[in-house]
Amino acid sequence: MAPENFTSVTEFVLTGVSGCPELQIPLFLVFLVLYVLTLAGNLGIITLTSVDSRLQTPMYFFLRQLAIINLGNSTVIAPKMLINFLVKKKTTSFYECATQLGGFLFFIVSEVMMLAVMAYDRYVAICNPLLYMVVVSRRLCLLLVSLTYLYGFSTAIVVSPCIFSMSYCSSNIINHFYCDIAPLLALSCSDTYLPETIVFISAATNLVFSMITVLVSYFNIVLSILRIHSSEGRKKAFSTCASHMMAVTVFYGTMLFMYLQPQTNHSLDTDKMASVFYTLVIPMLNPLIYSLRNNDVKVALKKFMENPC
């Protein structure tokens, strides 16, 4: 198609979670509650791990970064999504859409990498407890976190411009509640081979590297726990990584469901439901997982509630 035969898209229309008018208000209330709980939970983790002297270890430093990432990820998506439940014209400008995709990529890739960093942290804590504070030094913590954010930012500034450098014409209706890669690729009227290749290589590299790190770390953790003779010692060692194992299982379970399902069963509606989970539900669950199964966090919360100053 010649360039003069179509009008370039300057704004997109988001279909949202559901097109049923009678569901807009109920869904708005449901997702508003989810977002408020996400804000409260993650801000709570950030506050507690910042002010409580007992939560100044590398594990809680990384937990604070995960909370920041979860807060950012949900905030990139939820406000626009909530507004669209209440308005008839669910439009977003071309540059607003590009910015949202870039922000989403930054936070989701940072989360994938941060979970790998946290798995390495738990590996050192359990397999080399005497050297833990030496190996996982403050300098190493800052380096790992900086690399995590830098890698997330690099992915965002490579993939997002690549997606929005394509030509969009005829339809501007995005079958999603935010600007995501798959529905944007489906709208393009130009060759999508290069963007699809870049997205595939990036996603595969991120997931494979992160999952290998997590699996190797936990394989060694399990071996170390099995070598502990006392049941009390095994229970204590397991409790230090149980929360992270739950968070990893929920996150990667959703990702694997989304990317490993047969192509014949794959649809944008399925992607939409999976996206609700890892952009809104998981950021809400993570603070609960880490606080309900962690005595240090519960004690710090009780102390903070009794004396907030």
Confidence label for 146 from pLDDT (cuts 50, 70 and 90): very high
Look at residues 217, 67, 25, 71 and name the one whose alpha carbon lies nearest to residue 136: 217
Among 10-14, 158-162, 226-230, 280-284, name the one with the lowest average pLDDT.
226-230
Average pLDDT over residues 158-185: 89
Domain regions of the chain by residue span: 12-306
The CATH number of the structural domain formed by 12-306 is: 1.20.1070.10
Share of the chain above pLDDT 90, in %: 50
Confidence label for 283 from pLDDT (cuts 50, 70 and 90): very high
Confidence label for 42 from pLDDT (cuts 50, 70 and 90): very high
Per-residue model confidence as pLDDT tens digits over 290-300 = 876 677 787 77
Question: Is the pLDDT assigned to residue 309 strictly greater than 70?
Answer: no
Q: In this structure, what token pair is assigned to residue 4? A: 């003069």
Look at residues 7, 12, 1 and name the one whose alpha carbon lies nearest to residue 175: 12
Mean pLDDT estimate for the chain: 87
Average pLDDT over residues 130-142: 93
Query: What is the distance, to the nearest Å, from the Cα of residue 144 to the centroid of all Cα atoms in its chain?
Result: 17
Highest mean pLDDT among 11-20, 95-104, 169-178, 296-305: 95-104
Question: Is the pLDDT assigned to residue 27 strictly greater than 50?
Answer: yes
Share of the chain above pLDDT 70, in %: 92
DSSP label of 165: T
Separation CA 155–CA 158 (nearest Å): 5
So what's the pLDDT on residue 267? Answer: 66
Question: Is the pLDDT assigned to residue 2 strictly greater than 50?
Answer: no
Separation CA 248–CA 245 (nearest Å): 5
Cβ–Cβ under 8 Å, residues 132 and 125: yes
So what's the pLDDT on residue 261? Answer: 56
So what's the pLDDT on residue 21? Answer: 86
Three-state secondary structure of 67-96: HHHHHHHHHHHHHHHHHHHHCCCCEEEHHH
pTM: 0.90
Question: Is the pLDDT assigned to residue 22 strictly greater than 60?
Answer: yes
Question: Is the pLDDT assigned to residue 1 strictly greater than 50?
Answer: no
Residue 180 φ/ψ, nearest 5 degrees:
-110, 165
Query: What is the distance, to the nearest Å, from the Cα of residue 207 to the centroid of all Cα atoms in its chain?
Result: 12
| Residue type present at position 225 | I
DSSP label of 281: I
So what's the pLDDT on residue 259? Answer: 62
Per-residue model confidence as pLDDT tens digits over 221-273 = 989 888 887 777 777 777 777 778 888 888 888 777 766 555 455 566 777 88
Kindly report the number of other CB atoms within 10 A of residue 7's CB atom: 10
Cβ–Cβ under 8 Å, residues 112 and 202: no
Per-residue model confidence as pLDDT tens digits over 259-277 = 655 545 556 677 788 888 8
Separation CA 226–CA 230 (nearest Å): 10
Kindly report the number of other CB atoms within 10 A of residue 128's CB atom: 13
Among 4-8, 29-33, 98-102, 169-173, name the one with the lowest average pLDDT.
4-8
